Amino acid sequence: MSAPLKPSSMETLPRPSGLAGLAADWASDQRAFKNVSWGKAMMWIFLLSDTFIFGCFLIAYMSARMATTVPWPNPSEVFALEIGGVHVPLILIAIMTFVLISSSGTMAMAVNYGYRRDRRKTAALMLITALFGATFVGMQAFEWSKLIAEGVRPWGNPWGAAQFGSTFFMITGFHGTHVTIGVIFLLIIARKVWRGDFDTERRGFFTSRKGHYEIVEITGLYWHFVDLVWVFIFAFFYLW
């Protein structure tokens, strides 16, 4: 394993912990994120920027919903399904939530097995995660087609405030895109894990850098973020 560059002070002086550590880490001539690699730090910073994007979407939705004089359609009824002749409110969204949470669970376990250098279990768990993700996107496609068939458009719908359609398509569409990109990302990394790239330190096709199992955790960070965003969408758009 190639030893990364490190300042010599890291070896000689132990870093303080707690708030003193926070101040010391952010002080001048220090690298702020001590034990975090650049890959992980950059994924976190990307996720932070994505938080603002979804934050803006949800705030736009809040403003539209608060400012309209027309009643907002009741999501509980809009997303209800008839299962075996029984009318179940919001059931499709509940199932989608459980599917996404399960995918997060398998992803967390994949990261764990990655650090144990168990490539078969890691790849298998990542593939299961991707499968859950694809299921989620499929259910979302079903949900979209059902709503479009019922007459929901970005400029109007049969049940109330016109903004319902535009916010729904924008927020869930953007989230679904994230899930789709995540599935592709998972499949690419799972293939590398399966092939043993991180055991043999095979160089990457694009960057020519040696890969490490840490990329599984970085992929995991993105995947958990997608689940995290869904928690907020579920609460504010579907349940509120």
Element (H, E) at 124: helix 119-149
Element (H, E) at 81: strand 81-83
Using CB under 8 A, which of 163, 212, 215, 219 touches another protein? Answer: 212
Contact range with another protein by CB under 8 A, out of 136-144, 177-185, 186-194, 213-221: 213-221
Query: Do 130 and 186 contact (CB within 8 A), yes or no?
Result: yes
Contact range with another protein by CB under 8 A, out of 145-153, 169-177, 187-195, 216-224: 216-224
Using CB under 8 A, which of 133, 165, 211, 220 touches another protein? Answer: 220
Q: Does 202 bind another protein (CB under 8 A)?
A: no
**HSE-up of 225 (CA within 13 Å, CB side)?**
22
Q: Does 130 bind another protein (CB under 8 A)?
A: no
CA-CA-CA-CA dihedral for 166, 96, 229, 177, to nearest 10? -60
Q: Does 90 bind another protein (CB under 8 A)?
A: yes
Q: Does 184 bind another protein (CB under 8 A)?
A: no
Identify the three-state secondary structure at position 181.
Answer: helix
Using CB under 8 A, which of 42, 55, 138, 201 touches another protein? Answer: 55
Q: Does 105 bind another protein (CB under 8 A)?
A: yes
Q: Which is nearer to another protein, 25 or 194 (CB)?
A: 25
Q: Does 68 bind another protein (CB under 8 A)?
A: yes
Q: Which is nearer to another protein, 30 or 148 (CB)?
A: 30
Q: Which of residues 10-49 bind another protein (CB under 8 A)?
A: 10-11, 14-15, 17-19, 21-22, 25-26, 32-37, 40-41, 44-45, 47-48
Query: Do 111 and 216 contact (CB within 8 A), yes or no?
Result: yes
Q: Which of 214, 213, 183 is nearest to 103 (CA)?
A: 183
Q: Which is nearer to another protein, 152 or 161 (CB)?
A: 161
Q: Does 131 bind another protein (CB under 8 A)?
A: no
Distance separating alpha carbons of residues 131 and 135, to the nearest angstrom = 6
Q: Does 4 bind another protein (CB under 8 A)?
A: yes
Which stretches of 154-239 are DSSP H helices?
Answer: 163-195, 197-200, 214-233
Distance separating alpha carbons of residues 201 and 2, to the nearest angstrom = 10
Identify the three-state secondary structure at position 83.
Answer: strand
DSSP state, 44?
A: H
Q: Does 180 bind another protein (CB under 8 A)?
A: no
Q: Does 84 bind another protein (CB under 8 A)?
A: no
Q: Does 132 bind another protein (CB under 8 A)?
A: no
Q: Which is nearer to another protein, 62 or 124 (CB)?
A: 62
